[in-house]
Amino acid sequence: MSESHSLDAHDLLIELGSEELPPATLSQLSQAWQEALAEQFKQQGLSFKQITAYYTPRRLAVIVEQLAARQEDQTIERRGPALKVAFDDAGNPSKALLGFCKSSGLSVEELQEIETDKGTWLYAKSQRKGLAIDDLIEDIIAKSLAALPIPRPMRWGAGEHEFIRPLHWLTLLYGERGLACTIKGISADCITYGHRFHAPAAITLKHPSDYTSALAAAQVIANFDQRKQSILDQLESICSDLGAVLDYEDSLLNEVCNLVEYPNAILGQFDAKFLNIPEEVLVVTMQESQRYFPLYRKQDHRLLPQFITIANIKSIRPEVISQGNERVIRPRFEDAEFFWQRDKTQSLESRVDKLNGLLFEKKLGSIADKGKRSAEISVVLATTFGIDAELAERACMLCKCDLVTEMVTEFPKLQGIMGRYYALHDGEEASLAAAIEEHYWPLKSGAKIPSSKLGQIVALADRIDSLLGIFASGKKPSGVKDPYALRRAALSLVRISIEAELEFDLHQLLHKAASLLPESLQTGELVDDVEAFILERMRGYLVEQGLNKDCFEAVLASRASLTSTAASLNLFDCYQRSLAVSNFRSRPEAASLAASNKRIGNILKKTDVSDLVTLDAAALSSPIEQRLCSSLDEIETNVEAMVQQQHYTEALQTLAQLKDDIDNFFEEVMVMHEDPSIRANRIALVTRVHKLFTAVADIALLQV
């Protein structure tokens, strides 16, 4: 907060001590509290330099630097009733005047008169002394906590107080003095507590600046980033000693960091026989169930029978902790081994009928029904791309079958992955097995798309069916609600089409997919609605890639204006056109040509279709219009060939050569001539220009 600070300002420490806070959302909770406090200080007119947040499993804390000790004094000015109605005929105050005096806290004698162009009015002017931080802090903290996103608050004891976890202490220190305050039944003090086991005694703080050092001495690293770095350093040290490497997502590290106050890395191991289980199973078991860090061989990145766990204590016998973790993980691996062996006794194909028992959506039927629809969509795509249609159809029928295996029932995150393993075990083609896993890709924003053509086909078919089906069932995304993740599905469809450079007609494919839905769900607007939804995701994708939004708008406008292509939609082609327009947009001719095309567009909007005629070059009398016609003759065939070959950048570069001729034409030639035949011929000439440009994009929409 950048404001001038009162000379009387001090640092403020607020700490809420609690039972173990949920690690997955702790960072977001701390950030939300920091923002809520900043907003409360702002509303109360209390300036400060900055707020620094600290949090561990047992505490939420902030240090507010140079927080003003009190609000600024305020001058309150209010205009009251007009003088002529303020007193009655006997000179006594009217009801209006008495009411104004009461609300302003002043007597009649303390009021002033003010002259305006509408007469004389009574006027109240008073000073309101700013409140001290002592009088404001309880309300500020209470309101900031009430603003936190806590979906399921807890109650504790016999009281009615609620918070994300039961509170045990409240530390409140302003400068070198404590502030009296009671929050959720807890009275504030200048005391905090260190590590639950290493330093459980109360710690009296003398100043907020002592906070982190006092906790560090009591075996608590209050700063999240410092705790995280400590974990990273220890992980790296163990890996270096073993010649191993780590591979994990940031979410695991962040969650582990929020599980400990004093991290200590400990090496553990498990029986190497479990490495016969697919390593993804072991990794998910270690990470999801136990928050362990798996270790891999540096040479080939194969899983090692070892792991690292982060303990919350510095043990004099770390081997005891290690053995305890090893005992815990063994039965989990044994369960996984049982699921693996048992699942392999049935083929994926034998599980297809079981998908009838898994509901996809009430109006759309089961997962099996979805698979049948996706299979028909995939046949169209496979034919387009020259892939074995029967193989694509079979991949769609089998791609969800692992959902009814015991392994995926236990570990839903392994869907697709286990399907690949089971397909290979069943003797299915390797490309089909890979497609079963890849059809879920990309798994998240920015993640890799399917690498195989078959995987891309199954992924597209699955998402197209989901988008149309859920839209048709009336459950399309609304606001922040998107229970079927359709925004992600549409974006994935866009990314796969563009990044895999797939050329296919999405418009016709959507119509085909819509025809596969139950008849009661087929509506005339369905395809248009889904198409618009997908294009909106593509617009956002292109902006993220650094393209100006108007480049894509120009391409869409061109598609809509050409009746011959309005019934088709090729996302990769739209992308190529958008890139070409973006390149053209940076050219020096762009602004002038965009303005000229806008002018041509306005002319054509006012032109009756019956007035359009075939250009008669011989009838062009002006040298300027003859020159433009000649220039068009020189490049038209080449530009049309470039567009046909999808060389859009070259086409626009060639069209840029028309700039001077078009500028001269509009400067010297009156298009809307009074002679109908001359006017019609000139309109035919600019129509020819418009047709050439819009064959790539309607550059009139460029904001240059």
| CATH (domain of 618) | 1.10.730
Q: Are residues 37 and 91 in the same domain?
A: no
Q: Which CATH number is 483's domain given?
A: 1.10.3210
Q: Is residue 531 part of a domain?
A: yes
Average pLDDT over residues 552-581: 84
Query: What would the mean pLDDT of 288-304 be, rounded to a whole number?
Result: 95
What range does the domain containing 402 cover?
355-546
Residues whose CB is less than 8 angstroms from the CB of residue 127 and which lie 6 or more positions away in sequence, other chains included: 73, 74, 75, 76
pTM of the model: 0.83
Residue 329 is predicted with a pLDDT of 96
Q: At 63, which CATH number? A: 3.30.70.260
* Other Cβ atoms within 10 Å of 525 Cβ, number: 9
pLDDT in tens, 207-241: 999 999 999 999 999 999 999 999 999 999 999 99
The CB density around residue 450, as the number of other CB atoms within 10 Å, is: 24
Per-residue pLDDT of 574-590, as tens digits, reads 999 999 999 999 999 99
> Is 253 part of any domain?
yes
Contact 520, 533 (CB under 8 A): no
For residue 35, pLDDT over 60 is answered with: yes
Average pLDDT over residues 9-26: 96
Residue 334's pLDDT is what? Answer: 97
Do 203 and 269 reside in the same domain of the chain? no
The per-residue pLDDT for 377 is 97
Asked whether residue 104 is assigned to any structural domain, the reply reads: yes
Same domain, yes or no: 396 and 512: yes
392-441 per-position pLDDT tens digit: 999 999 999 999 999 999 999 999 999 999 999 999 999 999 999 999 99
Average per-residue pLDDT in the chain? 92
Q: Name which residue leads in pLDDT, 59 or 564.
A: 59
Q: Are 377 and 502 found together in one domain?
A: yes
pLDDT above 70: percentage of residues in the chain: 97
3-state secondary structure of 475: coil
Residues 644 and 657 in one domain: yes
Question: What per-residue confidence (pLDDT) applies to 112?
Answer: 84
- Give the pLDDT confidence score for residue 610 in this predicted structure: 57
The separation between CA 319 and the C-alpha centre of its own chain, rounded to angstroms, equals: 43
561 lies in a domain? no
Are 513 and 399 in the same domain? yes
**214 touches 278 (CB < 8 A):** no
Domain shared by 474 and 610, yes or no: no
Number of domains in the chain: 5
- pLDDT band at 563; cut points 50, 70, 90: very low
**Which of the four pLDDT bands, split at 50, 70 and 90, describes residue 3?**
very low
697: closest CA among 599, 565, 581? 581
Q: State the Cα–Cα distance between residues 11 and 50, nearest whole angstrom.
A: 10
- Average of per-residue pLDDT across 503-519: 94
Are 141 and 12 in contact, with CB atoms under 8 Å apart?
no
Name the band, by pLDDT with cuts 50, 70 and 90, for residue 704. Answer: confident
| Domain boundary residue, one of 290, 316, 343 | 343
CB under 8 Å, gap of 24 or more: what pairs does 446-453 form? 449/492, 449/495, 449/496, 449/499, 449/500, 450/496, 450/500, 453/385, 453/387, 453/500
Same domain, 522 and 533: yes
- Asked which of 164, 183, 217 is the last residue of a domain, the reply is 217
User: Residue 5's pLDDT is what?
Assistant: 39
181 pLDDT band (50/70/90 cuts)?
A: very high
373 and 488 fall within a common domain: yes
Residues 279 and 318 in one domain: yes
Please give the structure tokens belonging to residue 5. 């600070």
Rounded average pLDDT over 534-555: 95
Boundary-marking domain end, from 195, 217, 239: 217
The answer to whether residue 439 is domain-embedded is yes
Q: How far apart are CA 603 and CA 327, in angstroms?
A: 81
Query: In this structure, is residue 568 part of a structural domain?
Result: no
The model's confidence at residue 567, banded by pLDDT at 50, 70 and 90, is: low
275 is a domain residue:
yes
CA–CA distance, 371 with 398 (Å, rounded to integer): 8
Dihedral of alpha carbons 580, 586, 590, 591, sign: positive
The b/e string for 150-183 (b: 16+ C-beta within 10 A; e otherwise) is beeeeebeeeeeebbbbbebbbbbbbeebbebeb
User: Is 1 a residue whose pLDDT tops 70?
Assistant: no
Name the pLDDT band for 498 (thresholds 50, 70, 90): very high
* The pLDDT value given to residue 4: 37
Which one has a higher pLDDT value, 681 or 493?
493
Task: Please determine, for residue 91, whether its predicted confidence score (pLDDT) is greater than 70.
Answer: yes
> What percent of the chain lies above the pLDDT cut of 90?
79
- pLDDT score of 611 more than 70: no
Task: Dump strand ranges (E) for 509-657.
Answer: none
In a domain? residue 349: no
Q: How far apart are CA 668 and CA 228, in angstroms?
A: 71
Q: Tell me: pLDDT of 287 over 80.
A: yes
Q: Are residues 495 and 475 in the same domain?
A: yes
Residues 624 and 695 reside in one and the same domain:
yes
| Segment 47-68 mean pLDDT | 97
pLDDT of 658 above 60: yes
- Give strand ranges (E) for 349-471: 359-361, 365-366
